[in-house]
Amino acid sequence: MLRKACKEACVLGKGILMRMELPKKVKHIISKLEEKGYEAYAVGGCVRDTILGRVPLDWDITTSAKPLEIKGIFPVTLDTGLQHGTVTVMIEKEGYEVTTFRLDGAYSDGRHPDEVSFTSSLVEDLKRRDFTINAMAYSDKTGLVDEFSGMEDLKNKTVRSVGRAEERFTEDALRMLRAIRFAGQLGFSIEAETFEAVKKLSENIARVSAERIAKELEKLILSDGCEKIKLIYEAGIFAVIAPEIDEFFKTKPERVNKAIKAMENAVYHTKKGLHRIRTVLFFEELGENKACELLKSLKSDNDTINTVRHLIPLLGREVECSELEMRRTVNLCGHKAMPLLLEARRAKGLRDVTALYEDIVKKGCCTDISGLKVNGNDLLEAGVPKGVMIGKTLNRLLEMVIENPEFNTREKLLSEVRENEE
Nearer to ligand ATP, 54 or 296 (CB): 54
- Residues of the shown chain interacting with ligand ATP in the complex, contacts defined by CB under 6 A: 44-45, 57, 60, 129-130, 134-135, 172, 174-175
Q: How far is the CB of 57 from Mg ion (least distance, A)?
A: 5
Closest CA to 141 of 67, 69, 33, 49: 33
Nearer to ligand ATP, 134 or 142 (CB): 134
Q: How far is the CB of 290 from ligand ATP (least distance, A)?
A: 30
Beta bridge partners of 158: 189
SS3 74: coil
Nearer to ligand ATP, 36 or 127 (CB): 127
Q: Which of residues 21-50 bind Mg ion (CB under 5 A)?
A: 45
Nearer to ligand ATP, 175 or 278 (CB): 175
Which region, judged by CB under 5 A, interacts with Mg ion, from 56-64, 125-133, 199-207, 346-354? Answer: 56-64
Nearer to Mg ion, 101 or 249 (CB): 101
Residue type, 105: G
Residues 6+ apart with CB under 8 A from 381: none
Burial of 180 from C-beta contacts in 10 A (0-12 / 13-18 / 19+): buried
Residue nearest to Mg ion (CB): 45
Q: How far is the CB of 321 from ligand ATP (least distance, A)?
A: 44
Let me know how long the chain is. 422
CA 352 to chain centre: 26
Q: How far is the CB of 267 from ligand ATP (least distance, A)?
A: 21
Nearer to Mg ion, 99 or 331 (CB): 99
Residue 405 binding partner per list ligand ATP, Mg ion, none, with a CB distance cut-off of 5 to 8 Å that depends on partner kind: none
DSSP state string for 346-379: HHHT----HHHHHHHHHHT---SGGGSS--HHHH
Q: How far is the CB of 44 from ligand ATP (least distance, A)?
A: 3
SS3 131: strand
Which region, judged by CB under 5 A, interacts with Mg ion, from 53-61, 181-189, 227-235, 383-391? Answer: 53-61
Q: What is the Cα–Cα distance from 281 to 279, expressed in whole angstroms?
A: 5
Instruction: Identify the H or E element spanning 296.
Output: helix 288-297
Nearer to ligand ATP, 115 or 358 (CB): 115
Closest CA to 125 of 155, 167, 85: 85
Residue nearest to ligand ATP (CB): 45
Q: How far is the CB of 169 from ligand ATP (least distance, A)?
A: 10
CB 217 within 8 A of CB 177: yes
Residue 130 binding partner per list ligand ATP, Mg ion, none, with a CB distance cut-off of 5 to 8 Å that depends on partner kind: ligand ATP
Binding site for Mg ion (CB under 5 A): 45, 58
